[in-house]
Structure 1
């Protein structure tokens, strides 16, 4: 008996495995991260744009004068505090030219004394210094009222001729006309020489208040007993008549501790040195500038005493020079809360988040999102498995169909978890699945009771091998 190799019987047609459906979860996470990143980038860019460095032009007098030196100190302090503000210092030949430059809107900041020509757009930021008037007479010759100066020759000790004009105006207001009796003291002439040998009946010194504390010359002259310090009567009346003036008090012992001069507090008048800004300068800018100035006073004081006692500008509406709104905001402690200060930024952030989120949501929904598949549509795949049950001639073939059915079921469960399969038609799918599952079970029982006959060729091969 010849043996023939068994001819393999064509198996059941195999269906391709269902492709693994990609989950939407990774896309949702990715789009969420991109939305937050782009929103943060948008807000950061907006904040940078709002807080970009701003350069302010500072007009000053002579390059080595107190105004220029103060401006240089302020520029250093701004840099050391990482402020967004920067200064461009522009020196002039004198203070008057600096004020003129400010008046032409060619500068944002300037320093002026209240008896100067005040530009209409000047707004006060801070009081840097006080100039006080010291009415000095020879020892033993007290001056009780300004009217007593009518017949006296008066010398003025000051840095420039503008103070002579100031004294003449004050004397005219006090009904003690100055005429030609007031003149600038010769350069280098000491106070005691003016009172003893130069024929002056009184000396009026216009000095920085900070200098009266530090200058030891007053104490040396006082020990020689050559002068007396007098009050300026009706100081309050003078300030009302002439608003450039301010009431000042020289405390006991200010000029000299031994002997004590003055022996008691003396009322006089004075002037203020103000840092002014253009009225058109933004409130946040001046508020930031004021904050830096008031929080770093010690670093801004000059060696000679100028700006050693910086004071808040007068915020009253009837002040001689109205305070800038930015300075007023800081001085009156009207700083905005976190929500108020950053409300605009928060609005931008929310708007950016909404716009970017909407764009990504649209992109996800229309372009990249995997549309959910209905469970009822997968019932077709289940029924297709059922149609091939009758062709299964062995238990192995039924096992393959069982695996395919379970694969479909697993796909539905995972898909519903990840949102890529909707619950629409779930009853239909469930009915189809249970029907096919039962059919497989019944076919399995049938094959076990009625096993298929073996192939004759296979038997012949086995017989030949046995022989």
Structure 2
């Protein structure tokens, strides 16, 4: 290739085009990453906002009561669980006042025992504790039925006066001063031994105790070893459960109160009451379900040292339950194994919405602003025509081959660009027409140069032959001249010789 051809090719070849597709792909990848990051941030922010958006008011009695201490434990568990709920504890003089506050919609949560007045808006989240009714007779004396106690002196051993009203209701004691005097609260500080002693005058002692405390209380075993009492069955348990709402049938297993001697010595029927954690009926299902989940999953941490709430149970989901279960808690109880979709459907819907909105915004930005548009095929026609204009000025095959290589490079660029999207099909017909025209022009120019090159070669051969002929003729002339000169020299010698003679 000639220096002139190389220079022409270097000066006229089109500059390399930027890789549009690579730039666009980088933008797409960047926008996809930003979309995912912003969507995750939106979901996280929404979840954080929801998790910190609800404070529940818990109405309880005295600060030293079991209800108040349970509320404090629940508040601690919610904080440790990083829950979205926060508990605001409101103390009252007693639990009855707390239920009044709950009934007035001034509290979201409360604890009630099923023998009291149950607010109509109360919905059960969990059963925290069972109270057992223990019918104790002095010595070996058995009490055959509750009816025989109606006209006898009975001591009620319990923590509050509400239990006294409950005992009077199950004994069907009339509301008269005389009857009230027979069924009394046990004196403050009176031990079981004193109450069951003959001198006390009590025909029986009815103790209402938390089931968890009854199992732990060693006083029953100590009194039993001295032969101090008889634990009696309440055969009317089923009838009382049907007659009085809130009463539950309970069974004391052998050895519940004392292992040695074994009391009772066989399973024994009695009655009981339930302590319920209740919520307002207006509480959403998701809130109730999440609260129920946290309570059931952290039962061991919610139990008090005194034994209260050490055996938390799911609320009854029966339609005829004394206190209906909160809807969210019922859903959780009836379907304890929640699927991934059930647990995270809200976050998934939020994520899908955020992904759609943010993705649409970035797609619009890419399409309208930042996207590098592909070059039109017709724009390459200008480079082809430039090559065509230089074809007629090519005076050698080397120069022409440089132009042909340049044309093929333009074609290769177009093919690759059409494949990867850097060149659009707009004006493709014009490009084809221009390419074919210049290609044919190069072909014709090549034939023309080859033809002229052949004629010049033939003319050079003829000139060379003519030069040979001329050289041959010159040689012949020189030879003739030499021969003539030699003949002249011979004649001179002959003449000289003749003269000498």
TM-score of the two chains, using structure 1 as the length reference: 0.85
Q: Which residue of 2 aligns with 1:294?
A: 296
Tell me the secondary structure at the aligned position of residue 328 of structure 1: helix
Q: Which residue of 1 aligns with 2:191?
A: 190
Tell me the secondary structure at the aligned position of residue 183 of structure 1: strand
Correspondences of 1:42-441 after superposition (within 5 Å): 42-52=42-52, 54-172=54-172, 178-196=179-197, 197-333=199-335, 336-393=338-395, 398=400, 401-402=403-404, 404-440=406-442
Cα deviation, 1:388-424, whole Å, max 9, x if unaligned, reads 3223456675466445434432431332133131235
| Structure 1: distance between partners of 2:263 and 2:195 | 19
Deviation at 1:123, TM superposition (A): 0.9
Tell me the secondary structure at the aligned position of residue 309 of structure 1: coil
Q: 1:20 and 2:17 equivalent?
A: yes
| Structure 2: distance between partners of 1:81 and 1:358 | 37
| Structure 1: distance between partners of 2:279 and 2:337 | 20
State the number of aligned residues. Answer: 443
Cα deviation, 1:131-156, whole Å, max 9, x if unaligned, reads 11111122232110112113311111
Q: Which residue of 2 aligns with 1:459?
A: none
Change (3 A) 1:178 1:45: same
| Structure 2: distance between partners of 1:147 and 1:12 | 126
Tell me the secondary structure at the aligned position of residue 47 of structure 2: helix
Change (3 A) 1:356 1:257: closer
| Structure 2: distance between partners of 1:152 and 1:192 | 19
| Structure 1: distance between partners of 2:343 and 2:30 | 33
Name which of structure 1's ranges 420-429 and 107-116 shifts more when overlaid on structure 2: 420-429
Q: 1:41 and 2:38 equivalent?
A: no
Change (3 A) 1:407 1:294: same
Change (3 A) 1:28 1:407: farther
Cα deviation, 1:36-66, whole Å, max 9, x if unaligned, reads 3333333333333444453322222221221
Change (3 A) 1:175 1:257: farther
Q: Specify every segment of 5 or more residues in structure 2 that has no aligned partner in the other structure, as ranges.
A: 1-6, 455-501
| Structure 1: distance between partners of 2:268 and 2:303 | 26
Deviation at 1:164, TM superposition (A): 1.2
Q: 8 Å contact 2:129–2:276 — kept in the other structure?
A: yes
Cα deviation, 1:291-346, whole Å, max 9, x if unaligned, reads 12222222222222111211111111111111111211121126543234444443
Name which of structure 1's ranges 221-230 and 46-55 shifts more when overlaid on structure 2: 46-55
| Structure 2: distance between partners of 1:146 and 1:171 | 6
Tell me the secondary structure at the aligned position of residue 145 of structure 1: coil
Cα deviation, 1:209-258, whole Å, max 9, x if unaligned, reads 11211111111111221221112231111121111211122222222222
Cα deviation, 1:157-209, whole Å, max 9, x if unaligned, reads 11111111111111117999944311111111112212222211211111111
Q: Which residue of 2 aligns with 1:7?
A: none
| Structure 1: distance between partners of 2:398 and 2:270 | 117
Cα deviation, 1:336-383, whole Å, max 9, x if unaligned, reads 432344444434433433333333333333333333444244234312
| Structure 2: distance between partners of 1:339 and 1:298 | 28
Deviation at 1:95, TM superposition (A): 1.2
| Structure 2: distance between partners of 1:280 and 1:76 | 25
Deviation at 1:32, TM superposition (A): 3.1
TM-score of the two chains, using structure 2 as the length reference: 0.79
| Structure 2: distance between partners of 1:59 and 1:25 | 60
| Structure 2: distance between partners of 1:255 and 1:35 | 65
Q: Which residue of 2 aligns with 1:465?
A: none
| Structure 2: distance between partners of 1:149 and 1:235 | 16
Change (3 A) 1:341 1:31: same
Change (3 A) 1:150 1:311: same
Q: Compare CA radii of gyration and give the structure with the larger one.
A: 2
Q: 8 Å contact 2:115–2:245 — kept in the other structure?
A: no
| Structure 2: distance between partners of 1:414 and 1:433 | 16
Q: Specify every segment of 5 or more residues in structure 1 that has no aligned partner in the other structure, as ranges.
A: 1-10, 452-467
